[in-house]
Structure 1
Amino acid sequence: MVKHKYYDLLLAAFIAALLCSNLIGAGKVAVIDLPYLGTVSYGAGILFFPITYLFGDIFTEVYGYKYDRRAVWAGFSALAFAAFMSVVVLSLKPDSSSYMSHYQDGLETVFGNTWRIILASLIAFSCGSFANSYVLAKMKLATHGRYLWTRTIGSTLVGELVDSSIFYVIAFYGIWAVDQIIAVAVAQYLLKSGWEVVMTPVTYKIVAWLKKVEHEDYFDWKTNFTPFSIKL
């Protein structure tokens, strides 16, 4: 197996961004005033989550679908562990002091819905990420490695559509009003997709640098695209 210099570091950064997107930002609805659109609601996780798709594009474009597949399963495992530990910590009996009583209330407010957010993210992110990676890998073959911008943006449009369609329904149905779920999901899709367009020059520079230093520009001609594997 080829040894890559930076894959492990990129994988660690990817998992950190994924955990932040789900544990810090996913539960908060923020608002922004946009020209012509007025006030738009969006999930604060957008500060982190699009970065994970940027990583997915880089993994697939430079190292190939199999390396991104392994990254998705590593992120899946990290999210599952975080969900399990949040349940364990919240279930521990707190100290009887006034401070700890309020602290417990705060933990339950922030992390009480973590299991549901994590479940939604596990399903939505894995489906969206595999769709993103598959589309990018196939488009790379179809274009013979040219027109990188078409596949980074095109694959993100597909992956984010799958992700946004699944995540908010599972995570917040019955908690938020249906019209709010739809509004936030649509806003998230548009903002995340727009973010990918804006970041295209950065993606180009990172991909070009990695291909040079890693001596790798993988084409998935003979790849088995099953998502149910971690083999390289």
Structure 2
Amino acid sequence: MRTERRRCYRYLDFITAAFVAVLLISNVASTKILVLGPFTFDGGTILFPLAYIFGDVLTEVYGYSRSRRVIWTGFFLVALAACVFAIVDVLPPAPDWKLQESFHAILGQTPRIVLASLVAYWIGEFSNSFVLAKMKIFTRGRLLWTRTIGSTLVGEAFDTSTFLLIAFYGFLPSSLILTVFISNYIFKVGVEVLATPVTYIVVNTLKKLEREDYFDIGTNFNPFLITSDN
């Protein structure tokens, strides 16, 4: 239930670190485009759905405010990684280092892609967290699967569509963008659905270990607040 004073949690730092690791790894893996059966998507899609599962766990157990801090932490660290990759890419390589073209192809930063990734992540994660928190109040904490899947349906729709429109609108045919959107969306939501039993186990275990089951009654849902109000 809602806690009126700040508490220290045993596993929040670990979940935050894992969440950020998923974001960073996904961004690097996304440089490769994959075709598996009828689906066409970037390599980061294999791991990125875990970010939404972590987001569900954070909001369900610890509340929107703490989830908001983790989302902003991930945002700033992904932006930092992009800046570092871009700086390293433009700096002159050593004369005997022959991998500059490979480095540029994999880690070279295209400003439009970076912008698309950051904006899509921000919109997707906050919409996911907001929907889950509101649904938890509406369902009175019951039917966890409706919240995890429902929030993912909304969050992934915003995330995937925002990224594709910012990154590729005007450069790729609209039909191709739509095909990639459908492939990515079905895959990401499918992972969330299949992972529901695991999500149940993790959420219920954390609630017992942390002695927390936060309800966002009276929470300030302004996404631009960095400090926690709980």
Q: Would you say same fold, with TM above 0.5?
A: yes
> Are 1:86 and 1:115, in contact at CA under 8 Å, matched by a contact in 2?
no
Shift of 1:116: 3.4
Partner of 1:36: none
Matched residue, 1:53: 52
8 Å CA contact 1:43–1:184 kept in 2: the answer is no
- Please give the per-residue CA displacement for 1:156-187, whole angstroms capped at 9, x wherever unaligned: 00000000111122233455444332211211
1:152 matched to 2:156 = no
Cα distance in 1 for partners of 2:52, 2:217 equals 22
Q: Which residue of 1 aligns with 2:72?
A: 73
User: Hey, what's the Cα distance between the residues in 2 that align with 1:173 and 1:28?
Assistant: 19
Q: Is 2:8 aligned against 1:3?
A: yes
Structure 1 segments of 4+ aligned residues over 6 angstroms from their partners: none
Matched, 1:64 2:63: yes
SS in 2 for 1:128: helix
Of 13, 17, 30, which aligns to 1:12? Answer: 17
The root-mean-square deviation of aligned C-alpha atoms, in Å, is 1.4
Q: Distance in 2 between matches of 1:191 and 1:44?
A: 12
Which letter maps to 1:18?
L
Specify the code of the residue in structure 2 equivalent to 1:9: F
TM-score by length of 1: 0.92
1:161 aligns with 2:157: yes
The amino acid that maps onto 1:20 is: I
Partner Cα separation in structure 2 for residue 62 and residue 200 of structure 1 = 15
Q: Deviations for 1:183-229, whole angstroms, at most 9, x for unmatched residues?
A: 11211011101111100000000000000000000000010000001
Q: Distance in 2 between matches of 1:177 and 1:112?
A: 24
Deviates more, 1:125-134 or 1:108-117: 108-117
SS at match of 2:99: helix
Return the alpha-carbon distance in structure 2 between the equivalents of residues 91 and 150 of structure 1.
47
- Corresponding position of 1:216: 212
CA deviation map 1:4-34 (0-9, x unaligned): 000001000100001111122x22221112x
Distance in 2 between residues matched to 1:113 and 1:183, nearest whole Å: 25
TM-score w.r.t. the length of structure 2 is: 0.93
**Aligned-partner residue type, residue 120 of structure 1:** A
Is residue 153–residue 196 contact of structure 1 (8 Å, CA) maintained in 2?
yes
Structure 1 equivalent of residue 137 of structure 2: 141
- Read off the aligned partner of 2:34 and give its amino acid letter: A
Indicate conservation of the 8 Å contact 1:124/1:162, yes or no.
Answer: yes
Which amino acid is 1:47 matched to? I
Equivalent AA in structure 1 for residue 59 of structure 2? T
Aligned AA for 1:225? F
CA distance in 2, matches of 1:173, 1:92: 30
How many positions carry a matched residue from both structures?
Answer: 223
Query: Does 2:128 correspond to 1:132?
Result: yes
Aligned position for 2:193:
197
Unaligned runs of 5+ in 2: 1-5
Which structure ranks higher in relative contact order (CA pairs < 8 Å, sequence separation ≥ 6)? 2
